Amino acid sequence: MNNTTKIAVIGLGYVGLPLARLFATKYSVLGFDINQERIKSLNSGTDTTLEVDDDVLQEALVNVPYEKGLYCTSDINDLAKCNYYIITVPTPVDKNNRPDLTPLYKSSETVGRVLKKGDIVIYESTVYPGVTEEQCVPVLEKISGLKFNEDFYAGYSPERINPGDKEHTVEKILKITSGSTPEIGKKIDELYKSVITAGTYLAPSIKVAEAAKVIENSQRDINIAFVNELAKIFNLMNIDTQEVLAAASTKWNFLPFKPGLVGGHCIGVDPYYLAQRAQEFGYHPEIILAGRRLNDSMGEYIASQIVKLMIRKGISVNKAELLMLGITFKENCPDVRNTKIVDVIKALMEYGVSVTIFDPLANAQDVKKEYNLVTVNSVPENKFDAIILAVAHDEFLKLNFSEMQKPNSLIYDVKGVLGAKADSRL
């Protein structure tokens, strides 16, 4: 299998690159991405997403395609000799929170141009049930001129990558697999099983695998919405939510969720995919969308809490100088996609607050392009009326907050990690 298996991974982001690097330990792997700057950076041995350590990446790279190892390219012609195509592109939502399948369509067109008889196309992107066979496969057929399940085959193996998590890496996370026929399902399962040390689970169909993935993050979203609602209730009662959760967690089956902002490219997006599909079948999902509405409201809620605390401390809100610590969607990760910190920032700006954003990991160009906001990557020298810990980067926990504070300043802890240093927390 090693000599004949040639894998192309389409999309070298937070999901694709770690997977390509892992497969490259046993197989010939071509990593393909349309972003030429990304390819240039990877070929120089640097991963700007920080998912793969530079020394590990450099060890995996090869200079010639189809040798054992990882060859990164933006040239579609390099993909022609592969027999497995794994698509790991983003699946975002549009401004109306409707699924945007454009990246899937485009990547399917790319693969369709090089698809040959006997090839297998595996999708990893999070989708609603039916997308692989009803949306993507017709594109592959149209572009390639080949017949599905006769000339080529498909599979679905949902990604479970947790960006920034160095403990639960791709090989340590059990992988769901599936195929368009029972035989292809077994073949795909064996491929993943050969590199995933945590093992695999072969689902009975592609639709089951798609549904399993989309409910994983929907379940987390609903649970976080519940504790966010608790936080709102307990704040009205002047009860510390974190203390309540700590007490409740002493019961063996209490679920340890914490309140906070729900952003990123998974939990804050995937429920909309499931909701959209349910509505196409005539069902209006009440709990799923209620959870989304509550979690989407947390940015403005946190901003209002901060403003109330500033007023109580006698801090003039209009033109107050505020330091926002972090803009990425989670700690120790440079990913700013769908970050809900932006909701807090924009709400504070509407109150007239002057916000300085400090994040040592975020790419300032990405933030400017995506949100039209300016970020700094080093500790500002001036002092502030309020400091908000929005993201629990390790670097922030080592800061000397007193050096950045004005005499009557406020420290607000969104993440609940500062303890006595903070005046208040979510």
Instruction: Indicate if the pLDDT at residue 1 is higher than 60.
Output: no
**pLDDT for position 357:** 97
What are the extents of the domains in the chain?
A: 6-206, 297-425
Do the domains at 6-206 and 297-425 have one common CATH topology? Answer: yes
CATH superfamily of 297-425: NAD(P)-binding Rossmann-like Domain (3.40.50.720)
- In three-state secondary structure terms, 277 is helix
Q: What percent of the chain has pLDDT over 90?
A: 87
CATH superfamily of 6-206: NAD(P)-binding Rossmann-like Domain (3.40.50.720)
pLDDT, average across residues 385-410: 93
pLDDT digit string (tens) for 258-278?
Answer: 999 998 777 888 899 999 999
**pLDDT for position 164:** 77
Q: Give the Cα separation of 328 and 367 in Å (integer).
A: 9
- Respond yes or no: is residue 333 known to be catalytic: no
pLDDT digit string (tens) for 73-113?
Answer: 999 999 999 999 999 999 998 888 899 999 999 999 999 99
**Locate tokens 């330990």: which residue?**
25
In terms of phi and psi (left: phi > 0; alpha: psi -120 to 50; beta: otherwise), the region of 46 is beta
pLDDT digit string (tens) for 139-168?
Answer: 999 999 999 999 999 999 999 887 777 888
pLDDT, average across residues 239-261: 94
Instruction: Indicate if the pLDDT at residue 2 is higher than 70.
Output: no
Lowest mean pLDDT among 131-145, 262-276, 386-400: 262-276
**pLDDT for position 207:** 97
Instruction: Indicate if the pLDDT at residue 215 is higher than 90.
Output: yes
pLDDT, average across residues 52-58: 94
Candidates 72, 82, 136, 266; catalytic one: 266
Residue 346: pLDDT band with limits 50, 70, 90: very high
